[in-house]
Amino acid sequence: MANKRDFYDILGVAKNATDDEIKKSYRKLAMKFHPDRNPDSKEAEEKFKEAKEAYEMLSDPQKRAAYDQYGHAGVDPNMGGFGGGGQGFGGFSDAFGDIFGDIFGGGGGRGGGPQVYRGADLRYSMEITLEEAALGHETQIRVPSWSHCDSCGGDGAEPGSKVETCTTCHGAGQVRVAQGFFSMQQTCPRCSGSGKYIPKPCKKCHGVGTLKSQKTLEVKIPAGIDDGMRIRSAGNGEPGVNGGPSGDLYVEVHIKPHAVFERDGEDLHCQMPISFVVAALGGEIEVPTLSGKASFDVPEGTQSGKTFRLRSKGIKSLRTALPGDLYIHVLVETPVKLTDAQKKLLKQFDDSIQEGGAKHNPQQKGWINKVKDFFN
């Protein structure tokens, strides 16, 4: 007995320390000197055992009172005091369970109730037109819905029977499994965390307590939305478990291919065929936009593939409300199915072009020079 250290000194607390201060100090020591963290240290093992014994005595009000009055003799079983051998892990499992709860994120503990789970999210895929994406759109969709079962009133038990408290977890929804020094909390395997047991499940809802149906929701598509974007409707997903919050509904927007335009962010692109006469002489042409028709002047001598930009004729940005641009890609169309008279006129026209020299065909002259350089 003479070599035994004072329990308060072992834990590093004053004799008037509160229960929380004693527990907090022990947890620090237990974490520091635990054998799993110090596998080859005999000294750490001894300090761990010493701290464990001190905590077991000081965490028990009766043992602490005896120790304060009589010292180690008051808690030595060989001298008639309170013994620590019959207690097993005792206060150790209590405090150490809290430690591993902190490490592994366990919850509930002794005061925990049935586990609460958030409902699953739902996804709805919606196709809209480019015009609806650009200008905004309001529509209705049908989505799954859940309501209380009208047969059992939502408790899941067949009418005339009752819901019972789970005898495995006693309504806590969790069970504690001890493995050596470890004390881990797990979901009750019998009731799956609900804390309840239904001997006779409702035949209509099969014990779930809810029935699945359909409901109509109003969906507002904001102007400027792009392909693949999602709209969140809070609380319209699957219901939660044990009173948990419902999940959310995500409406995923997909834009149908357009016959005229291709979209690139807030910009639009359009291929516009023009006759070679308009390309050669220039002239005013009409082009489509999402808000109606627009016109612009094609300059004389326009080549096929030339791109013109119409500012602010694209799609308004979802974030800034600034519109993009419309890009017109000109394609000079070659006439087909010509009459003999038209062919004769074109031949005469070509002869006059050839007489004018390379000034009428600058691209052709440049290409011929490149070919000559290649073969030389």
Q: What is the CATH number of the domain that holds 70?
A: 1.10.287.110
Q: Can you give the pLDDT at residue 333?
A: 93
Using DSSP, state whether 117 is helix, strand or coil.
strand
Tally the domains of the chain: 4
Both 90 and 176 in a single domain?
Answer: no
Q: Residue 298 belongs to what domain range?
A: 261-334
Lowest mean pLDDT across 37-46, 61-70, 173-182, 203-212: 173-182
Q: Is residue 90 part of a domain?
A: yes
Lowest mean pLDDT across 1-10, 87-96, 121-130: 87-96
Total number of residues shown for the chain: 376
Both 132 and 231 in a single domain?
Answer: yes
Contact of 248 with 233, CB cutoff 8 Å: yes
Q: Is residue 71 part of a domain?
A: yes
Distance (Å, whole) CA 21 – CA 54: 13
Distance (Å, whole) CA 265 – CA 325: 10
Both 236 and 313 in a single domain?
Answer: no
Both 367 and 317 in a single domain?
Answer: no
Q: Is residue 115 part of a domain?
A: no
pTM of the model: 0.58
pLDDT (mean) for 319-336? 92
Q: Is residue 313 part of a domain?
A: yes
Q: Is residue 339 part of a domain?
A: no
Both 17 and 91 in a single domain?
Answer: yes
Question: Which residues neighbour 108 within 8 Å (Cβ) at sequence distance 6 or greater?
Answer: 115, 172, 173, 174, 185
Q: Can you give the pLDDT at residue 98?
A: 44
Both 153 and 239 in a single domain?
Answer: yes
Is residue 372's pLDDT more than 90? no
